Amino acid sequence: MGVIVAVTGASGAVIAMRLLEVLKEKRIETHLIISESGKKVIGYELGNSDEIRSLSTFHYSEDEIDAGIASSSNPVDAMVIAPCSLKTLSAVANGFCDNLITRCAENMLKLNRKLVVMPRDTPLSLAAIENMYNLKLSGAIILPPNMAYYYGPKTVDDVTDFFAGKILDALGIEHSAYRKWVKYDEASPVIRLPGD
């Protein structure tokens, strides 16, 4: 299995980093594309792109439109854009293939392969909501990084693991990144039986 992981200039590249860690542990081939704005935002959030790149099998810049993965004849099974800026969301929703990320996303849609998009921004404009709507109609999985409290996260790492786990769920890859919901789990410090 091969997965393209694209990181754009939205906040939250650490989610892609956690995802890449798990995919590496599972020996799944990964193709990491970081947009130019993505590199800039990673600079603010993680210092530099060295660690995230080291977790991928192959890595590319957004202008490498002649890379093998740019062709729909390549064997990559799925693509994740996480985090996805509203700019890249708009480009993918409208078939505007101006770089390697948007070109690969277009390939996924036209071949009916799995495309998981994690748009991050708040609040949302009508344009962003419409772009998500249209992308959903095109077959993509729209997976915003919306946190949940019910599983008892204590740290930012817990929240990051939850988001990475949700992407792995969408890809159909088994993982233990976060503890799945179990209704009657007496061992849980958070989820109590009725009457407790």
Please check whether residue 101 is in contact with residue 26, taking contact to mean a CB–CB distance below 8 angstroms: no
Nearest to 93 by CA among 126, 61, 139: 139
User: Which part of the chain contacts ligand FMN (CB under 6 A), choosing from 19-27, 79-87, 108-116, 167-175?
Assistant: 79-87
Instruction: Write down the least CB distance from residue 135 to ligand FMN, Å.
Output: 14
In whole angstroms, give the CA distance from residue 140 to residue 110.
11
Could you tell me how many residues of this chain bind ligand FMN (CB under 6 A)? 16
- Sites for ligand FMN among residues 97-136 (CB under 6 A): 120-121
Q: How far is the CB of 96 from ligand FMN (least distance, A)?
A: 11
* Ramachandran angles phi, psi of 195, nearest 5°: 95, -15
What is the nearest approach in angstroms of ligand FMN to the Cβ of residue 53? 16
According to CB under 6 A, which residues from 172 to 191 bind ligand FMN? none
Residue 185 to residue 86: CA distance in whole angstroms: 39
Q: Nearest-CB residue to ligand FMN?
A: 9
Q: Whole-angstrom distance between the N-terminal and C-terminal Cα of the chain?
A: 46
Report the DSSP pairing between strands 58-61 and 29-34.
parallel
Instruction: Scan residues 2-41 and list those touching ligand FMN (CB under 6 A).
Output: 8-11, 35, 37-38, 40-41
Residues that bind ligand FMN (CB under 6 A): 8-11, 35, 37-38, 40-41, 44, 85-88, 120-121
